[in-house]
Amino acid sequence: MLFRRLFLCALFVGVLVGLFDSAVQRWRVVPLIFAAEVFESALDAPAADHAHAAGAAAHSHDAAAWEPQAGFERTAYTVLANVLNATGLALLLLPLVAFVNRQRAGLALQKSRGALVGQGLLWGAAIWLCLFGLPALGQAPVLPGVQAAPLQARQLWWALTAASSAGGLAVLCFVPSLWRVLGLALLALPFAVGAPHAEGSAFAGMSAEVAPQMQALAAQFVVATSVASALQCLLLGALCALLAARWINPLLSRDVKKNTQPTAIAGSTL
């Protein structure tokens, strides 16, 4: 019963947040990606022409990697990915919020809706810091066509930063003050290791006319993705806080009362 309710709440949050995030991305982020892809295609064209001129005897076409077609298919896959991502985050956040409510606020059933939303916004801000804000300090979001470090190295550093940030914030918020220095150490760990970066300029190979335009697009892309991800995380946190107090904590309270009720002794007249 508890897991089913948790899953349904997470799915509800995931659909709402995923659709909202997709709309914001379509408004502010996707146009920048499309503009960068135009420049990327222009950069790839001379290389393709050179390959064709190298001679038919030594030339072969490699199978192009699959990617969704522009238009509806690409949009549908983006929306699906956003919904699944938000659902997964909600599955992690809902039980965490409910557990903290039980431990600190007597199931948080008496809190006003405004107080719950405020609590959820704090959770959302923490998620944004762990998954986007702190990782972006080491390596900013990258547009198509911009030179960057190898993907696997960037993914590993992002995973390290997200895990260290979550652990550091948890220590700072929930551990006695004597050990909070450990939280600061965890927050600093990824930056002590160092984020991977591409060798040379991120806009290498671009003409003097294209490079400034790509640089401007890259700066706009960082701002747009920061805002979009922040709005996504804040909405996610607010919805999870409301649903945890309304649907998860009452069920936990009922289970606790059921498990702690004294067992009646058969034939007792007390």
Residue range 174-195, pLDDT digits in tens: 888 778 889 999 999 999 999 9
Which parts of the chain have pLDDT scores under 50? 47-63, 107-108, 256, 260-270
What's at 221, amino acid-wise? Answer: F
Distance CA 225, CA 155 (A): 17
pLDDT at 253: 65
pLDDT at 62: 43
Kindly tell me the sign of the dihedral angle through the C-alpha atoms of 176, 178, 179, 183: positive
pLDDT at 264: 42
Helices (H), the chain: 2-24, 30-53, 72-105, 113-128, 134-138, 151-174, 180-193, 210-243, 249-260
Distance CA 140, CA 249 (A): 38
Distance CA 110, CA 121 (A): 18
pLDDT at 82: 97
CA torsion angle for 14, 15, 20, 22 (degrees, to 10)?
A: 90
For 112, phi and psi rounded to 5 degrees?
-75, 165
pLDDT at 178: 78
